[in-house]
């Protein structure tokens, strides 16, 4: 609706999540069918903990950039899991974002133009969930410096070095948001100020969306950004890795962002429930 394209123009529908409804049955086909993109479409599910959504984004960018497809849809969405009384439970949220990636040869009114992207991954076991287990396990303090901060900071630095940019060149920055502390600390280490990160900081309102976290923060920034603004998007997925992207907002943002509800519109219509109802809805009791 916001992109103003026909669903049959989509050449790929990718869903990044760690909470799939089926162990063996792609979610991508369900989404593609629901929006009318089938049957001439590539569909798949991606997994990389909380950066599965930006994995989808990277692949859509590659397919569009190589002219294999005209448009691609990259989705990051999750239902965050946390065992009762586990620290993860206090920031657990549910939600996601879908981003349409298009080739500039076809899309005459783009919302944002990609400048470049990098990925940074290592084998770091900070967070995991075994088959048939209901809740994930984590290495507590180990999830910080050797995991989240190492990967997000290195990915951001690599991208800025490759593009010849500095923190002051960006109007906004958004990181993966497992809690309210980590993204603020990462921004400070890299040299960003609070004004640059505040607009995309959604975790205080809706918690950690896992694969949907950084992409939904990016969407919240696009809701207010103006043409010419440069945005740094840095995801993080346990296991571990980060994807970093630099976007420049284009003129199309002015006409397209009001074609659908904005992130804060969805947040404002939420209904508060108590912990007992939450446990019942999540199947914990």
Are 246 and 159 in contact by the 8 Å Cβ rule? The answer is yes
Catalytic residue at 279?
A: no
59 is catalytic: no
Do residues 211 and 178 lie in contact, with contact meaning Cβ atoms separated by under 8 Å? no
Catalytic residue among 50, 56, 59, 60: 50
Triad 9, 11, 14: Cα angle to 5°: 125
Question: Distance between CA 214 and CA 235 in Å, rounded?
Answer: 6
In the residue annotation, 151 being an active-site residue is answered as: no
Distance separating alpha carbons of residues 51 and 244, to the nearest angstrom: 11
Q: Quick one: which of 177, 227, 228, 169 has its CA closest to 199? A: 177
State how far the Cα of 217 lies from the Cα of 230, in Å rounded to an integer: 15
Q: What are phi and psi of 58, to 5 degrees?
A: -60, -45
Question: From the candidates 9, 18, 140, 151, which is the catalytic residue?
Answer: 18
From 107, 176, 195, 279, the catalytic residue: 176
The two three-digit tokens of residue 152, written as one number: 């997000």
Q: How far apart are CA 184 and CA 178, in angstroms?
A: 11
| Extended beta strands in 125-275, E state | 127-128, 137-138, 172-175, 230-234, 239-249
Catalytic sites, residue numbers: 18, 50, 176
């Amino acid at each position: 609706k916001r992109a103003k394209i026909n669903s049959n123009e989509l050449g790929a529908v990718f869903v990044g999540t760690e909470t799939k409804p089926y162990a063996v049955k792609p979610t991508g086909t369900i989404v593609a069918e629901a929006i009318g993109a089938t049957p001439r479409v590539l569909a798949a599910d991606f997994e990389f903990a909380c950066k599965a959504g930006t994995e989808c984004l990277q692949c859509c960018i590659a397919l569009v950039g190589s002219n294999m497809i005209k448009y691609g849809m990259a989705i990051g969405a999750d239902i965050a899991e946390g065992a009762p009384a586990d620290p993860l439970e206090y920031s657990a949220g549910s939600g996601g974002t879908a981003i349409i990636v298009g080739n500039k040869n076809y899309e005459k009114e783009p919302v944002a133009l990609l400048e470049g992207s990098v990925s940074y991954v290592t084998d770091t076991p900070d967070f995991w969930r075994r088959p048939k287990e209901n809740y994930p396990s984590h290495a507590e303090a180990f999830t910080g410096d050797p995991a989240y901060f190492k990967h997000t900071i290195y990915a951001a630095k690599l991208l800025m070095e490759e593009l010849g940019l500095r923190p002051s060149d960006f109007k906004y920055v958004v990181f993966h948001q497992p809690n309210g502390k980590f993204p603020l600390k990462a921004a400070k280490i890299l040299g960003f100020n609070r004004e640059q990160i505040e607009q995309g900081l959604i975790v205080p309102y809706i918690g950690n969306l896992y694969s949907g976290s950084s992409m939904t923060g990016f969407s919240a920034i696009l809701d207010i950004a103006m043409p010419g603004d440069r945005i740094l998007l840095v995801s993080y997925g346990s296991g571990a890795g980060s994807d970093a992207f630099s976007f420049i907002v284009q003129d199309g943002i002015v006409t397209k962002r009001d074609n659908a509800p904005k992130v804060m519109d969805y947040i404002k219509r939420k209904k508060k429930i108590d912990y007992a109802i939450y446990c019942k809805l999540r199947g914990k009791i």
